[in-house]
Amino acid sequence: MSENQGPSGPREGAPGGEGRELAARARQLDAEDVLGVLRDRFVLDDTVYLDGNSLGALPRAVPGRIADVIAREWGELRIRSWTESGWWTAPERVGDKIAPLIGAAPGRVVVGDSTSVNIFKAVVGGVRMAGKGCTEILVDAATFPTDGYIARSAARMTGLAVRPVEPAGIAEEVTERTALALVNHVDYRTGELNDLPGITTALHSAGALAVWDLCHSAGALPVGLDAHHVDLAVGCTYKYLNGGPGAPAYLYVRESLQERFESPLPGWNSHTDPFAMDAAYAPADGILRGRVGTPDILSLLALEAALEAWDGVAVEDVRAKSLALTDLFLECVAAYVPAGRVRPVTPLDHRRRGSQVSLVCSGAGEVMDELIRRGVVGDFRHPDVLRFGFTPLYTSFADVERAAWMLGEVLGAPGASGAGG
């Protein structure tokens, strides 16, 4: 595609000098990109897809794997596949594939259920491990709504109170009465990266546990759960891990806590002897006690195939490209978008930035609709935030430059929405 091509055809006007320089720089960055070959591992088209922070693109390995699961493992082997095809052990096997992407050793991650269910397990299980005299749960004040809903429900069940706190203030707000804090590693709305090591250390200093929501960080940047002694963590797999719509989530439990972890959902799949059908519950050893019911095999095995896209990939390289992509996008937005039309709310500081860029823009919903119509897919959050997610495994620098150029075209058009406050 030439520098005068848009994501869905020729650009209406060739870019000026600065634009030509940015387009040329994007091409050079793509030529030097060590992760560029990974793009072929995904099913993509001419659309500039910048919504991988909501739903990742389809990895090429998935359709064939699922066809085999349906036709052979389910269609021919049927019940035998629980043992012969490894269905029974899939939750911990797939967990071990996710583990290195979040800085965990084998045996510390189990896959299954939704993010919401795993947050419930982690929060209630964490409260049960907390010291006597704890009266409160701290919750990230800017949290994704479901996290807050689950935390408040868990608090009602355990007799504790929920106290919303800004993540940056947790070190000052935590007390000996705090059982745990539930914090988002990356703010879903602004893309701000919270200080996982520092917050975890502050919580531990007060005797509280750290529970992290990794939905917007896993697969986009190093997490370091083991290295930073995180207690519990949860995350989805359909964003940067590209597991597909409704793909199962995962639960991490620090190894030293596993034998104390008491799940509030003691299903038969986490029993030490599931097929004994014992009326008395006895939890399995280790991370297996994070399982609940029968695994959702089709989506679980789709996720397992999707994770093949990570073969040979270093998370550190992913982080380096993520920052380079977001830097270029911010630079191109500044060059292409008329002054005053948008305002970045994602931190410029690399230490505080996830893998998305959020821009305040009045009429954000209508602007995004027009971008999508023109072949640039992001999303927006009410009332006025445009969100662009950058998945380093398949997002190119040319994608970034074209998306910013198209945003400038949309906001520079007669009647385009003005900037938000």
Q: Is the pLDDT assigned to residue 115 strictly greater than 80?
A: yes
* Diameter of the chain measured on Cα atoms: 75
Give yes or no for a contact between 239 and 52, defined as CB atoms under 8 angstroms apart.
Answer: yes
Assess whether the region 5-60+314-412 and the region 89-294 belong to the same CATH fold. no
Q: 255 - beta bridge partners?
A: none
DSSP label of 12? S
| Residue 336, Cβ density class (10 Å: 0-12 exposed, 13-18 middle, ≥19 buried) | buried
β-pairing verdict for 250-253 and 109-111: antiparallel
Phi, psi of 116 (to 5 degrees): -60, -45
State mean pLDDT over 77-87.
98
* Residue 223 exposure: Cα atoms within 13 Å on the Cβ side: 29
Residue 126 has pLDDT above 80, yes or no: yes
pLDDT tens for residues 156-178? 999 999 999 999 999 999 999 99
Q: Packing angle between helix 115-129 and helix 145-158, nearest 10 degrees?
A: 40
Any idea which architecture 89-294 has in CATH?
3-Layer(aba) Sandwich (3.40)
Percent residues over pLDDT 90 in the chain: 93
The kind and range of the H/E element at 385 are strand 385-389
Q: Across the chain, what does the average pLDDT equal?
A: 94
Q: For residue 282, how many other CB atoms are within 10 A of its CB? A: 12
Angstrom distance (rounded) from CA 407 to CA 203 = 42
Whether the predicted pLDDT of 417 surpasses 60 = no
Residues 6 or more apart in contact with residue 81 via CB below 8 angstroms = 73, 74, 87
> Which tens digit of pLDDT belongs to each residue from 22-75?
999 999 999 999 999 999 999 999 999 999 999 999 999 999 999 999 999 999
DSSP 185: S
Contact 267, 292 (CB under 8 A): yes
Lowest mean pLDDT among 79-83, 112-116, 131-135: 131-135
The owner of tokens 């939905």 is 215
Domain ranges of the chain: 5-60+314-412, 89-294
Q: What is the pLDDT of residue 2?
A: 43
Kindly report, residue by residue over 361-398, the tens digit of the pLDDT: 999 999 999 999 999 999 999 999 999 999 999 999 99
DSSP 278: -
Domain formed by 5-60+314-412, architecture: Alpha-Beta Complex (3.90)
Q: How many alpha carbons lie under 13 Å from residue 333 in its C-beta half-sphere?
A: 20
Report the C-alpha dihedral over residues 113, 116, 122, 128, rounded to 10 degrees: -110
Asked whether the whole model's pTM tops 0.85, one would answer yes
Q: Sorting pLDDT into bands at 50, 70 and 90, what band is 283? A: very high
Alpha helices for 78-212 (secondary structure H): 81-84, 90-98, 115-129, 145-158, 170-173, 196-205
Question: Could you read off the pLDDT of 323-368 as tens digits, one per residue?
Answer: 999 999 999 999 999 999 999 999 999 999 999 999 999 999 999 9
**Residue 17 pLDDT more than 80?**
no
Q: HSE (CB half, 13 Å, CA atoms) of 218?
A: 31
The neighbour count for residue 11, using CB atoms within 10 Å, is 18
Q: Is the pLDDT of residue 9 over 70?
A: no
- Provide CB contacts within 8 A for 320, sequence distance 6+: none
User: Quick one: pLDDT band at residue 414, thresholds 50, 70, 90?
Assistant: low
Report the distance separating Cα 43 and Cα 56, nearest Å: 11
The residues assigned a catalytic role are 144, 213, 238-239, 387
Q: How many of the other CB atoms lie within 10 Å of CB of 332?
A: 25
The C-alpha atoms of residue 99 and residue 26 are separated, in whole angstroms, by 33
Structure tokens at 129: 């491990």
- Give the pLDDT score at 18: 75
Report the pLDDT value the prediction gives residue 19, as an integer from 0 to 100.
Answer: 81
Residue 13 predicted with pLDDT over 60:
no
DSSP string, 325-378: HHHHHHHHHHHHSPTTS-EE-S-SSGGGB-SEEEEE-TTHHHHHHHHHHTTEE-
